[in-house]
């Protein structure tokens, strides 16, 4: 099973409120885009972050930082402001290419989600307008290229 299917299946079995973001979302909307890691936006709550942490650990992923879900939610604004934390990153120590970044600067409660059929699965993906807004805020060269590609898809 490909990595993104394993992660989304783990999220679904642990009842995590999530949507795919980042380069994978751009590609799932139809733009040509390559990326290694899989970015997710979650509903920000202690329950949801704890479920995500459990789900990711259940498929062999470990957090890069020594942060627990409840601690991250409690001190999220402080970590963003004072530590420049944008993502809660998980990795597979036996498969270094398997990386998940949980974007902590955005709350899924404030965003729209669409379902994209991929093979036999339906994946939850951030809607194009919210993905564009998120990428514009990030402002890195690749993000701005993604914005251009997403706007082309909207035409």
3-state secondary structure the chain: CCHHHHHHHHHHHCCCCEEEEHHHHHHHCCCCCCCCCEEEEECCCHHHHHHHHHHHHHCCCEECCCCCHHHHHHCHHHHHHHHCCCEEEEEECCEEEEEEEEECCCCHHHCCEEEEEECCEEEEEECHHHHHHHHHHHCCHHHHHHHHHHHHHHC
What CATH code is carried by the domain that includes residue 49? Answer: 3.30.460.40
Q: What is the mean pLDDT of the chain?
A: 95
User: For residue 146, is it within any domain?
Assistant: no
Residue 99 in domain = yes
Give domain status of residue 66, yes or no: yes
Considering the domain boundaries, does residue 149 fall inside one?
no
Q: Which of 17-21, 43-47, 145-149 has the lowest mean pLDDT?
A: 145-149
pLDDT beyond 80 at 88: yes
Number of domains present in the structure of the chain? 1
Report yes or no on 7 lying in a domain: yes
The pLDDT score that the predictor gives to residue 1 is: 56
Q: For the full predicted model, state whether its pTM sits above 0.85.
A: yes
pLDDT band for position 155 (cuts 50, 70, 90) = confident
- pLDDT tens for 89-119 read 999 999 999 999 999 999 999 999 999 998 8
Q: What is the dihedral of CA 93, 95, 96, 99, to 10 degrees?
A: -90
Q: What is the domain range of residue 20?
A: 3-138
Residue 150 within a domain = no
Tell whether 147 is covered by a domain. no
In a domain, 49, yes or no: yes
Q: Check pLDDT > 90 for residue 34.
A: no
pLDDT for position 127: 97
Take residue 147 and report the two structure tokens written for it: 């914005």
């Amino acid at each position: 099973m490909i990595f993104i299917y394993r992660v989304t299946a783990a999220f679904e079995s642990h009842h995590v409120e999530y949507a795919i973001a980042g380069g994978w979302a751009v590609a799932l909307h139809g733009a040509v885009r390559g990326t290694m890691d899989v970015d997710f936006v979650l509903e920000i709550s202690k329950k949801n972050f704890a479920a995500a942490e459990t789900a990711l650990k259940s498929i062999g992923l470990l957090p890069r930082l020594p942060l627990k879900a409840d601690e991250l939610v409690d001190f999220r604004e402080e970590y963003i402001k004072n530590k420049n934390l944008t993502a809660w990153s998980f990795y597979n120590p036996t498969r270094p290419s398997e990386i998940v970044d949980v974007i902590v600067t955005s709350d899924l409660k404030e965003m729209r989600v669409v379902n994209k059929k991929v093979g036999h699965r339906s994946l939850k993906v951030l809607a194009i307008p919210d993905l564009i807004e998120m990428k514009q805020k990030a402002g890195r060269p690749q993000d701005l290229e993604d914005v251009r590609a997403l706007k082309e898809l909207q035409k």
